[in-house]
Amino acid sequence: MFALPPAFEEKMKKILKEEYPAFREGYELPRKFGLRINRDKITPEEFEKLAPFELTPIPWVDNGFYYGENDRPSRHPFYYSGLYYLQEPSAMTPANILPVNPGDKVLDLCAAPGGKATELGAKLHGKGLLAANDISGPRARALLKNVEVFGIPNSLILNEVPAKLAENFPEFFDKILVDAPCSGEGMFRKDPDTAKAWKPEKPLECARMQKEIILRAADMLHPGGMLLYSTCTFSPEENEQMISFLMKERPEFEILPIPERYEGFASGRPELIEKEWLPSELWEKDIFDDLTEEQKISLKNCVRIWPHRMGGEGHFLALLGKKDENGKLPEMYFYTGEEGAFRNETIPAVKAEDPLKNVQKEIRKEKKGKKNRKGQPSSGELPAGKKSGDLMPFITFAEDLKVDWDFSRVEVRKGQVYYVPAESAAVRGLVFLRNGLYLGEIRKDRFEPSQALAAALKKSQYRNTIDLPADDPRILHYLKGETIEIEPEEAENSKGWQLLCVSGYPLGWGKLVNGLLKNKFLASWRLS
């Protein structure tokens, strides 16, 4: 039988009561394996036709699938081309539920390794800003890699504490996701070592940390915005009690109902904030006495995912709205007059546009160097301090790109070329790993494109492409960093930079010389 800590079992018996036996039996069932489609590169329907392994849709995640335990999707070329992310099915839920639209300024505050950040970024379709932060340096580097593999061009990758971010970004973001560091009780089946390391004090330790995190997140949310708080634990201290703490400290926040709530979702538990559940080491016994009955009832709008009820591990999430200066909640929700009832108003879909297209027009603008009426650089002109000659190797390379560059957003730092997001962010004084899309490097008089640029492009956006099927053995040789042979009819041009694609999706760069494609796939991304 799966070993659980005795103190944890006693706590769960108290929470679940007659449902506990079914919960306990669930630990004897095998865990589920999931992958989530990159909706900015491919639709779920398109991927099902391409998939080399059997998939079963996850019923509450529109772009999520189960795959078999014996499959190895992390070694398939489609994984390296950023078509999907491997993620535990329940963990897909928070980013799937948070309503993000192209043009939003979005923050994932505790983002590493990037499972939720990549979904938020894909929803933006290159418009707006994705700020993804993690306090750990090594984890932030893993986050950067996953965001770049997904081809998200409008990203800001940070390595900061929440308090420092709150100083720079007061009421800045439209949407914020807080997947808080937690005691991990919901992941015991997936990771038995977590169960072995659990101790009764762990939820209290995490809750003390979460109090600071959720308040700083609240301070960074623009009035009229939405915050999604989630954990992968069952502890009331980290869940309903933490949401109640936020409503007490920031009364402008209200819990919103989850749109299109899946039938398997369990409701939040208002009774878990009653005095008998409040640990004295964390709360004063009267801390929630001044919450209104409506606020307490609204805790039912939170979601608990129980592993014995659904095909995934344990999770908790709450969607909150921050009232604007007129006291109104976000527009997509309004009160219907019934107790605890809201109606969901669909936000009109914003047509996704490629963030990169049609370069020739902008190059002509850059060469003309015209000013707008206010004397500021026009959209195609280099910003002040950047000489045309500094960027000429990149401009020459860009002639083969069908991309609509705004050259005022191109920055050169020590020979490295970046395309910064259109939504400016106050990054001065902050530790960040990336601000925008890393385009490549200027070495002497030549430009070498980056792996991140390849991931952000579509096949149609580069003039010279080589497209091989996923089962071509040369693809695996390429992913291992080897030179591969290319037949004359497989390349549109016989020499120079080539964008190698797998079944129509960009994989990386190579340089074609005498029928050999010299490998330019980033060494740290290679298949081992």
Annotated catalytic residues are: 232
Nearest to 50 by CA among 509, 502, 427: 502
Give 186's contacts (C-beta < 8 A, 6+ positions apart).
90, 231, 232, 233, 234, 305, 307, 313, 314, 315, 316
Which amino acid, 271?
E
| Helices 388-398/360-368 angle, 10° precision | 160
Distance CA 521, CA 152 (A): 18
Pairing between β-strand 129-133 and β-strand 105-108 as defined by DSSP bridges: parallel
Tokens of 110: 């505790």
Amino acid at position 270, single letter:
P
Give CA separation, 160 vs 134, 138, 167, 381, in Å. 6, 12, 11, 33
d(CA 102, CA 49) in angstroms, rounded, equals 27
User: Nearest Cα to 32, choosing from 301, 311, 296?
Assistant: 311
Contact 441, 414 (CB under 8 A): no
**DSSP characters over 387-448:** -HHHHHHHHHHHTTBB----GGGEEEETTEEEE--SS----TTS-EEEESEEEEEEETTEEE
**Cα(452)–Cα(95) distance, rounded to whole angstroms?**
23
Three-class SS string for 286-313? CCCCCCCHHHHHHHHHCEEECCCCCCCC
DSSP code, position 349: P
Q: Which residues pair with 173 in a beta bridge?
A: 221
Q: Which residues contact 7 (CB under 8 A, 6 or more apart)?
A: 199, 200
Amino acid at 374: K
Where do we find the tokens 């960093």? 481
Strands 446-449 and 437-443: antiparallel
With contact defined as beta carbons under 8 Å apart, do 510 and 519 qualify?
yes
**How far is it between the farthest Cα atoms of the chain?**
78
| Residues contacting 262, CB < 8 A, separation 6+ | 59, 60
- Count the residues in the chain: 528
Q: What is the distance, to the nearest Å, from the Cα of residue 267 to the centroid of all Cα atoms in its chain?
A: 25
Half-sphere exposure of 89 (CA within 13 A, CB side): 24
Q: Is 417 helix (H, G, I), strand (E, B) or coil?
A: strand
State how far the Cα of 121 lies from the Cα of 135, in Å rounded to an integer.
20
